[in-house]
């Protein structure tokens, strides 16, 4: 009797096993399938894509919002009453979530490229759902508490837009390999047409996108405005406690051209520097006056204020993660800081011949100086001996009276108005947050000889964009960083940029055509040879000639040849 021994050979596919195993827990060969993906799994693929896009925008938002992290932490402090860096857990969870979802997206693309059926494991579905709802909740929370910060996205795109375009173009070009493979494997013509139309629409959109990209940094270098002056916002609060004399001295060491401070009036009529309504965050009031720590700072007299330490909190909280960079002498100076008066700041500025801008907070209605706050402040200016031409006066209240008493003060508005309206009011300077002003408005202010100062500008990319826009000065918490920016981060002439993106489009188009020709070589060959009727299986088999490797695992069903006597 003769028994046959058919031989079945399987090639090890470690990479494929890892892809399908991690994505859908399909580690075994018999668990994998080349069948079409079910509608349910297609829906989950769309959810995964939506989550990835949302997380990408969320991640980009927090990356560019680095300029305003201190502002965000201050918002949190006003709500909770405790100072902490709230950006750390947000950045950690965002980075972890984006990495996880991006990894799943890569695995899904690998499935599509290899013709494998998509089947996301239920644990991953839970993870994707959690990432989606967490991100949506974060977006809603930011929109309600810090909605103005969304403006950082279009502003940052003026600096990153051209480079993001090149990155997106490279990604779309690389995806042509997967698209070409899908078109080759598709059996229905309508499916091939839909895929091609979608892909070509995206590709064409990226090719013409530079026509709609605007950036002030796309200009001829010869037209670049002078470098904007840097004003120390609360001094140099990243390396010294805010609104202290040492903070302003540190800012002056960094070659700032002006100093900015927040001013309140004490109960005995002394203007002093403080940003918050209370003294709790920036002094040791809970130790010296424990029963008054939540009291409005303006109800303290100057004698009581002088007893408070205004530097130890900086060493304890380390709000900008910079305490470790301080020398021993600097640490000692920080620890001994006290509350600074406006007159002290003005004398310091007068000595160094630098401009001073301060925001004056009117005392509460039951305050002894509620009606005399303007005169008290003007008195401090006059006693300091500083030239009036170095002081930027911001309060709108009693502005006409102030002009009569101190005509040489630089009248400054903190409210956005048209250049014509500012000139009618006799205002020659404007102090605004950086986000509500567009490039065209900056040009109008410059043409009207309105000195525009934007705050708070801490990042080199933002400083570069405003520089190219023609801003005359910026207020910064990081003068030690901006002093290292002698030129915009990037500056490119329009003709050079046009040549660059047209060349990128041509290269991308050539690569896409080459990939489609290479992927569909066998189909093209059969059509050109006059073979109008063919089977996809025949083409795939002719293209799938593989060389066996030494690592083959051989499974045998033994065929036994034996003869038995009859």
Task: Give the per-residue pLDDT at 531.
Answer: 47
Q: Please count the helices (runs of H) and the strands (runs of E) in the chain.
A: 22, 11
238 with 483: CB under 8 angstroms? no
Task: Give the per-residue pLDDT at 466.
Answer: 97
Task: Give the per-residue pLDDT at 99.
Answer: 96
Per domain, the residue ranges of the chain are 14-218+500-522, 229-483
Task: Give the per-residue pLDDT at 113.
Answer: 86
Say which residues have a Cβ less than 8 Å from residue 564's Cβ, sequence separation at least 6: 1
Q: Give the total residue count for the chain.
A: 566
391 with 356: CB under 8 angstroms? yes
Task: Give the per-residue pLDDT at 338.
Answer: 97
Task: Give the per-residue pLDDT at 536.
Answer: 46
Q: Give the per-residue SS3 of 118-144.
A: CCCCHHHHHHHHHHHHHHHHHHHHHHH
Question: How would you class 302 by CB atoms within 10 Å of its CB: exposed for 0-12, middle for 13-18, buried for 19 or more?
Answer: middle
Cα 478 to chain center, whole Å? Answer: 17
Tokens at 297, concatenated: 């700072």
Rounded to a whole number of angstroms, the distance between the first and last alpha carbons of the chain is: 10
Task: Give the per-residue pLDDT at 553.
Answer: 40
CATH 3.20.20.190 fits 229-483, yes or no: yes
Strand partners, 412: 429
**What are the angstrom distances between the C-alpha of 213 and each of 163, 222, 386, 418, 516?**
11, 21, 47, 27, 29
CA dist., res. 444 & res. 418, Å (int): 9
Per-residue tens of pLDDT for the chain, all 566 residues: 555 555 555 566 778 888 888 998 888 766 677 777 789 999 999 999 999 999 999 999 999 999 999 999 998 898 888 888 999 999 999 999 999 999 999 999 998 888 888 999 999 999 999 999 999 999 999 999 899 999 999 999 999 999 999 999 999 999 999 998 888 877 778 888 898 999 999 999 999 999 999 999 999 999 999 999 999 999 999 999 999 999 999 999 999 999 999 999 999 999 999 999 999 999 999 999 999 999 999 999 999 999 999 999 999 999 999 999 999 999 999 999 999 999 999 999 999 999 999 999 999 999 999 999 999 999 999 999 999 999 999 999 899 999 999 999 999 999 999 999 999 999 999 999 999 998 899 999 999 999 999 999 999 999 999 999 999 999 999 999 999 999 999 999 999 999 999 999 999 999 999 998 888 776 656 555 554 444 444 444 444 444 344 344 434 333 334 444 44
Longest dimension (CA), the chain: 133
Task: Give the per-residue pLDDT at 532.
Answer: 47
CA dist., res. 309 & res. 284, Å (int): 6
- β-strands 391-393, 473-476: how paired? unpaired
Sign of the dihedral through C-alpha 363, 369, 373, 379: negative
CA dist., res. 515 & res. 508, Å (int): 11
CA dist., res. 330 & res. 336, Å (int): 10
CA dist., res. 89 & res. 70, Å (int): 15
439 with 468: CB under 8 angstroms? no
**What are the angstrom distances between the C-alpha of 245 and each of 234, 272, 305?**
10, 11, 14
């Amino acid at each position: 009797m003769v028994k046959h021994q058919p031989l079945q050979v399987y090639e090890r596919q470690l990479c494929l096993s890892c892809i399908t195993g991690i994505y859908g827990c399909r580690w075994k060969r018999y668990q994998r399938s080349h069948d079409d993906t079910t509608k349910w799994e297609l829906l989950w693929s769309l959810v995964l894509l939506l989550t990835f896009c949302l997380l990408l925008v969320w991640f980009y938002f927090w990356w560019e919002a680095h300029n305003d992290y201190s502002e965000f932490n201050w918002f949190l402090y006003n709500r909770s009453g405790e100072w902490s860096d709230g950006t750390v857990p947000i950045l950690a969870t965002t980075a972890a979530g984006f990495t996880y979802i991006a990894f799943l997206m890569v695995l899904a693309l690998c499935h599509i490229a290899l013709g494998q059926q998509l089947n996301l494991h239920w644990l991953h579905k839970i993870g994707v759902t959690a990432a989606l709802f967490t991100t949506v909740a974060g977006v809603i929370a930011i929109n309600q508490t810090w909605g103005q910060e969304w403006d950082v996205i279009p502003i940052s795109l003026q600096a990153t837009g051209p480079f993001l375009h090149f990155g997106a173009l490279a990604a779309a070009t690389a995806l042509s390999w997967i698209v070409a493979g899908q078109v080759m494997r598709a059996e229905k013509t309508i499916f091939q047409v839909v895929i091609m139309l979608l892909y070509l629409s995206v590709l064409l959109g990226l090719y013409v996108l530079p026509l709609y990209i605007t950036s002030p940094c796309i200009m001829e270098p010869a037209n670049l405005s002078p470098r904007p002056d840097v004003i120390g916002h609360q001094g140099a609060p990243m390396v010294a406690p805010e609104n202290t004399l040492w903070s302003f001295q540190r800012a002056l060491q960094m070659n700032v051209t002006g100093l900015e401070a927040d001013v309140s009036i004490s109960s005995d009529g002394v203007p002093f520097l403080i940003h918050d309504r209370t003294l709790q965050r920036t002094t040791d009031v809970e130790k010296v006056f424990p029963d008054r720590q939540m009291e409005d700072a303006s109800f303290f007299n100057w004698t009581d204020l002088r007893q408070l330490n205004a530097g130890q909190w900086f060493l304890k909280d380390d709000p900008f993660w910079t305490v470790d960079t301080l020398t021993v002498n600097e640490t000692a100076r920080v620890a001994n800081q006290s509350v600074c008066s406006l007159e002290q700041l003005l004398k310091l500025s007068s000595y160094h011949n630098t401009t001073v801008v301060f925001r004056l907070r009117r005392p509460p209605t039951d305050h002894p100086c509620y009606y005399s706050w303007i005169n008290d402040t003007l008195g401090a200016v006059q006693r300091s001996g500083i030239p009036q031409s170095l002081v930027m006066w911001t309060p709108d209240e009693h502005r006409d009276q102030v002009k009569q008493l101190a005509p040489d003060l630089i009248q400054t508005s903190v409210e956005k108005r048209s250049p014509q309206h500012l000139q009618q009011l006799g205002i020659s300077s404007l102090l605004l947050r950086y986000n509500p002003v567009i490039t065209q408005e900056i040009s109008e202010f410059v043409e009207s000889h309105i000195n525009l100062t934007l705050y708070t500008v801490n990042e080199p990319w933002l400083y570069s964009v405003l520089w190219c826009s023609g801003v005359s000065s910026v207020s910064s918490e990081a003068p030690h960083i901006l002093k290292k920016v002698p030129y915009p981060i990037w500056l490119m002439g329009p003709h050079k940029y046009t040549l660059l993106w047209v060349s990128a489009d041509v290269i991308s188009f050539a690569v896409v055509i080459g990939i489609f020709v290479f992927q569909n070589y066998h189909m093209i060959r059969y059509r050109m040879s006059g073979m109008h009727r063919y089977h996809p299986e025949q083409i795939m088999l002719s293209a799938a000639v593989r060389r066996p490797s030494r690592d083959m695992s051989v499974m045998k069903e033994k065929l036994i040849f034996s003869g038995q006597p009859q």
